[in-house]
Structure 1
Amino acid sequence: MEVSHYTSQCVIAICHFCEHHGPNVIFHTRLGAESESPANKLSSSSTSISCGACNPFGNEHPGFTSKEPTSGKCTISSNRYTSEIVKNKLQQACFRSLSSEVSPSKEGPIFFSDSGIEIHVISHTFFLKDSSARGFQRWFSVIALTSESTVLLKMWNTLVPEMKDIIEDLQQMAAEIYKREEEQCSHRMLRSNFHIANVGAARSLQDISGNPAILLKLHIQFSRLVLLANCSQHLVKPKVTESVTSARESSIAALVRICQEIGPHFKTFAKHILKGGCTSISSDELFFKESCFSALQYLVPVQTTKSFIISQHTLQTTSQPCLLISNRGRKITCILNSCEESDKASCIVTRLENILLAEDVTPSFIHKQITNIREQLLFAAKKMQELKNVDQHKVLQFFQSFGYDTGDLDILHHWSLYC
């Protein structure tokens, strides 16, 4: 891909301010040729910083590639650059987004240009909670960069709401990790008592968010923004125009398809997901990954909806029990790789099976029923937490009086960890 063509595209990046290295681009997402991979045609300007905060990929990680099925467009996310020109433009945009070009409220979107190096940027700055950072928070920005201002100005009302959704998602994850860490050991109290200005080395985005798959999740989200900005509007519809009902029905439909594919192994599948088992989604279609991710969120505790899936771009063998979900054409393939089969009866699994494998029921009905099951399960999990020091036989008797069975206890125990 020629440099001039590359820089005329809209590129999406996430940046942060490192207390050791200053403003830095963590990684960027762009359109790529179908035959291109993240590791192809890279200049010597690849990131070589060992700092986990500036380089969460690590020096050997090639990045991620996805293919949009309708248009055939490929997107690539990497912390490496195709040329010094691209590197300089992104770094300059990063520097300005975290220094001079900031909204009066510190957080929020802003548009700026630099005619000297021909860049036009939408920058949305924000903070993430981090118990190890100075001031207990770190400064980040999501930027959209192109050499043509018209593209960004026309896309402002589409890109900015999408950026805001991504940022709020990150902030919620970081806030949950911060709260959990403060409850275990108050860093704020430690610094106050011992007059420590800063504690710990800069942490990666995976550690701050508590999600080991956050880079891939951001790749999927950034790929959407890149396609929105670079492709025709009829190929990728802005999320802001979708109704909540339509999105729910789409997620429910995906969940039903997965359950139908599992078929006779539904009980093993449901138990694996409900207990927080490892799940891998393998597909070149980023929208398939998104729909599966949204669908399986119905079967996990609220606080873990952003991190229960360990997604992989390509299907790989794994030694640990893992549910592998992939698609070939219109068919979903699900493989239960060494997932534990339980012979203990579970009323939770039975109820889900009756709902998700029932015939001639509407998505709205299924959504309502699953929502009820989730609420009851969360309530029971909180009770499990209160009874953690009680004799297990008495705990079983207690829950059996409410209609639960022996196979539900380990599910309730897992959910109780997040209540």
Structure 2
Amino acid sequence: MERSKGKFVSKKQGLKKEICLKNRKNTTYVYENVPERRIVDLRHFGRRYDSYWDRTLSKQERVQAELRKTCEERMELTTEHIAEEKARDLCAQTQKQEPVQPELRTPVPEMQLSSSCEDDQISFEEAMEILENAADDTDDRLVYEQMELLKNCDMENSVIVFYDIETTSLDASAEIVQLSACTDSSCFNRYILPHRDFNRKSSEITGLTVEMINGLRSLCKAGKTLPSTTLHAALNEFIDWLNSLKYEKVILAAHNGKSFDMRLLIQAVQKEGRLNALSVSVYGFVDTLHMFRSVRTDKQSLSLANYYRRVFHESFDAHDSSADVSALMRLFNHEKLNNKINEFILKFRQAVSYLENVKVVKGNRNEIQSLMCGDKKVISKFMAHKIAESGLPYNHLKLAFLTDSFDGLKHVLSEKVNGRPRVTNRVSVIESMNLHFKAVTL
């Protein structure tokens, strides 16, 4: 698509009310009578698209480009590292000193997560659906296309660390109250005193409460006080424990971790300023729920408690994270999934980018639902979610309408992506949105 520094290119110089865009199939679209104020920079969120209809590259091509960029960044770091080592060696020879040995690993540059996630609330029922595997995440396709490119990565000198987290609630503002992890030879478990009290239903599930003991807030279970620490101290101890394993590649595995445990852990280390330290210690993340799906063709529940009961014909103390990780490790070893682990790894940097993108999609979804799924229902909530996932925020839909009314909406919603409509080609849906924008722009 022709553009200049992210801005639309007019068909003729000086003609600001006619826009000519050309896609990779050399199909030219001309939009007339476009107000000058609408010819704006539309570089898109998430670094995926440059304009609101620019999705001509396939997902596989975008993933390959992202991985190439990551490799180039690592090559630059490696080149700088080699140059520094040569300079140190030269200095050492001149001063007859021993050369400084290079570090084995270079810390990942500090990555920031949007703080807007704290405002993104979900209901208890929605969270329970996630935990009970009632529905898949619809953005799994992009993540697993990324994972497909990592199948041949070297997994020597690696260890799988099974981890689990218990929280005060199941929404986005939940606080971690228990962090547990284990390998075949070592275990880690810490209780954390939260700043806020427990959600009632979450307290019923975990059995944990916050009580006043001798005038002090204390974490309790079944009437007994538990030894607890602060979140910052617990995360530091967890990172130190991971480093003590002395493996080059530490892979964190959790059941339904991509939707819950991984998100909460990354948010917590970001909040405590320890994201960079964790990125040095951890190679990547694995969601065992997706691994179990690959070997279990029956459509029965794959929640940890139900799956464990079907396989071993016994139960365990579910929703105690130390018991959960032991049960998960036993199931994992029973299914003999070690040889499939590299097919499902999400590297640390990709995990952070994935969570950032999820938050943007949720923000766009909430905005579209609030404006188009209220009392005057324009589209269904499912359709609003599809639109948000396609990379279209509400303002871009409005701009498409102002560009060419019904045809503008039809173009961005039904353009072909890998042979399928980007969102939908149903005329009734597009016409309903067209009437909505006519009403709000009058």
Structure possessing the higher radius of gyration over alpha carbons? 2
Scaled by the length of structure 2, the TM-score of the pair is 0.25
State the TM-score, normalized to the length of structure 1.
Answer: 0.26
